Amino acid sequence: MHYLDPKNDLTFKRIFGEHPHLCKSFLNSVLPLEPDALIEELEYLSPELVPEIPVLKRTIVDVRCRDQKGRQFIVEMQMHWTESFKNRVVFNASKAYVKQLDNAREYKLLQPVYALSLVNENFEPKLTDYYHHYKIVNISQPERQIEG
């Protein structure tokens, strides 16, 4: 019996983009969410992140969804690591964050955006960990963080 490789782009999108219970379970298992903040329900969003100004960069992510609290999750599979992929992850998460508000809404309504990237290569060869969690922190006082 042959199985489809979940690292294949099409297979990955079918598994996590069409089966909310699998995507929800996966996100709750992998992301550092508090026990009282686990994802209960997901709504799939367009994977296309279209800019407000047409001449700016348009991107497509593998899976983009939102939970009932309004938090967005971008899930991507990357087979080959490149330095530009790191920038693309930050770019896509930032774009999803910014697109939450129009001119009439207040900044306090912004919800967190989580970007989960599965990379088939070790992009931090000096570290033994396979899981890397990045946040915006104060360099001199890392316990001070910008939420969201």
How do residues 68-125 score in pLDDT, each as one tens digit? Answer: 899 999 998 888 888 888 888 898 898 899 888 877 788 888 999 999 988 888 878 8
How many C-alpha atoms does 73 have within 13 Å on its Cβ side? 27
Beta-carbon neighbour count of residue 92 at 10 Å?
A: 22
pLDDT tens-digit readout, 94-103 = 889 988 887 7
- Taking the C-alpha atoms of residue 99 and residue 18, their distance in angstroms, rounded to an integer, is 23
> In a 3-state reduction of DSSP, which class is residue 109?
helix
Q: Can you count the helices (H) and strands (E) in the chain?
A: 3, 6
Inter-residue contact 86 to 96 (CB < 8 Å): no
Sheet strands (E) in the chain:
42-44, 48-49, 59-60, 63-67, 72-78, 113-119
Token pair 């770019």 is found at 91
